[in-house]
Amino acid sequence: MKIRLGGNSLAVRVHRGTESAVLLIHGNSSCKEIFRHQEAYLTRRGHTVIIPDLPGHGSSSDAVAPTSTYSFPGYAAALKGVMERLGISSFHVIGWSLGGHIGIEMWSGMSAVRSLLISGTPPIQLSPAGVADGFLSSPVMDLAGKRDFTPQDVTAYGSAMLGTPLDRRSRFAAMIARTDGRARYWMVRNGLAGRGRDEIASVARCGKPLAIVQGRRDVFVRIEHVRKLTYRHLWLHRPILMDAGHAAHWERPDAFNSWMGRFLKYVD
């Protein structure tokens, strides 16, 4: 379905169920289909499942106000509007990569969000030093904020995200190429400028449940940074480290879904 909010048109997959509602938020230059395995798992369990394409991504329109929308608070506001339009006043959030940063913004600032599970998302202070603390420096990491992608950039970034060589004929390749380059540019620029919550302070102070299910072979994330932070309510008192890369939920869906299901049972 399409939901229009403030001049933007957002593509959203919605499954209505009898169990708790779960919002899944995809990563930078990705799309809602990256959660295909989680969508099937959660709907089988009877959850209400909401999976949007972020503004500037997938089948959603490009943002009419890119400098503000393409930021953690901007994305969070758009998704808040989606949930209000759907009449869902209480929900859990599953956020992958960029989606986890948006998730922290929502979890720490919205009473409607009951819990948060993040993957591929190091909580950071929004500053150049904070980014250096949480992320590994590499040429492929530099692509995260690059405005215009070449075909080679599409392949390199997609392969790093998925942990396997990207099929250039796949929908994921098409969706990376389709992504509004301003979304990458302004998301990184806004983050470096501190536009959003201090995520380290958020995870230290927010009393709502948080789970971290993280691939130990993630080429973007400094695992030691994630492990050393102070958390107020971290499920199982530790990050769950899986034998996977950046997209643990895609690379090893059965194992990821098992952890996700256990967490949702805990918070419900």
User: What pLDDT score does 50 carry?
Assistant: 98
Q: Dig out the tokens for 138 from the structure.
A: 């590499």
DSSP state of 34: G
Interval 76-98 mean pLDDT:
98
Quick check: 122 pLDDT over 90?
yes
On average, the pLDDT of the chain sits at: 97
Give every CB contact of residue 39 below 8 A, 6+ residues apart in sequence. Answer: 13, 15, 24, 49, 51
Rounded CA-CA distance 213/157 in Å is 21
pLDDT tier at 5 (50, 70, 90 boundaries)?
very high
pLDDT in tens, 251-263: 999 999 999 999 9
Q: What per-residue confidence (pLDDT) applies to 124? A: 98
pLDDT given at position 20 = 98
The answer to whether residue 53 scores a pLDDT higher than 90 is yes
Residue 21 has pLDDT above 90, yes or no: yes
Whether pLDDT at 92 is above 90: yes
Q: What is the pLDDT of residues 187-200, one digit of tens each?
A: 999 999 999 999 99
pLDDT of residue 238: 97
Sign (positive or negative) of CA dihedral 103, 36, 64, 97: positive
Going along 100-225, which residue ranges are E strands? 113-119, 210-215
Average pLDDT for 42-63? 98
Closest C-alpha among 216, 215, 211 to residue 262: 211
Report the amino acid identity of residue 260. Answer: M
Which sign, positive or negative, has the C-alpha torsion 182, 187, 193, 197?
A: positive
- pLDDT category at 64 given cuts 50, 70, 90 is very high
Percentages helix, strand, coil for the chain (3-state, rounded to 5) are 45, 20, 35
User: Environment class of residue 106 by beta-carbon count within 10 Å: exposed (0-12), middle (13-18) or buried (19+)?
Assistant: buried
Note the pTM of the prediction, 2 decimals: 0.97
Tokens of 173: 């390749």
Helix crossing, 98-109 with 72-85: angle to 10°?
70
- Residue 6's pLDDT is 86
pLDDT at residue 33 in the model: 97
